[in-house]
Amino acid sequence: MFDAPARPAPLRIEIEAPADAAAVEALVLAAFGPGRFAKTAERLRERARVAAGFVAREDGEIIGSVRLWAIRVGGEPALFLGPIAVAADSRRAGLGADLVQACVDHAGTTGILLVGDLPYFGRFGFRPAPDVSLSGPVDPRRVLWRGEGEAAGLVQPV
């Protein structure tokens, strides 16, 4: 008689818990390095409150994360997505997309802004937001919006 090989625990996307904060921060730092602190998006996140966070957990370990931040765009409530981080040894087709989809599902009809690549985020309904301005340098072609109507105005943290 032989034992069947153990099946790995399935990958799960869950709401980030307060106890996950240190693991998420370590994952983001490993994925982006200290250079992330120089980015305009990081300046915005430092002043905004977390509206929601999601983690990908495999065998009890956090291998992916993403957060939504409370912002206003031109005075209207919205969410700012990012950063999306996946552990180097866990990068496989679909995990980042699953994390983005969790954010889209959570947001419902609330608009989401991000700084990213249109070829990747376009499949989730994001489009260029040329009339949105952030307080700092950013490539305007990478400022993307998903929501009803057009986003316009200055982005401010909430």
Q: Where are the domains of the chain?
A: 12-157
pLDDT 10s per residue in the chain (158 long)? 445 444 455 678 999 999 999 999 999 999 998 878 778 999 999 999 999 999 999 989 999 999 999 999 999 999 999 999 999 888 876 899 999 999 999 999 999 999 999 999 999 999 999 999 999 999 999 999 999 999 999 999 99
Query: 12-157 has which fold?
Result: Aminopeptidase (3.40.630)
Task: Burial-class residue 23 by CB neighbours within 10 Å (0-12, 13-18, 19+).
Answer: middle
- Integer Cα distance of 120 and 122 in angstroms: 6
In the chain, alpha helices (H): 21-32, 40-47, 95-107, 118-121
pTM above 0.75, yes or no: yes
Single-letter residue type at 57: R
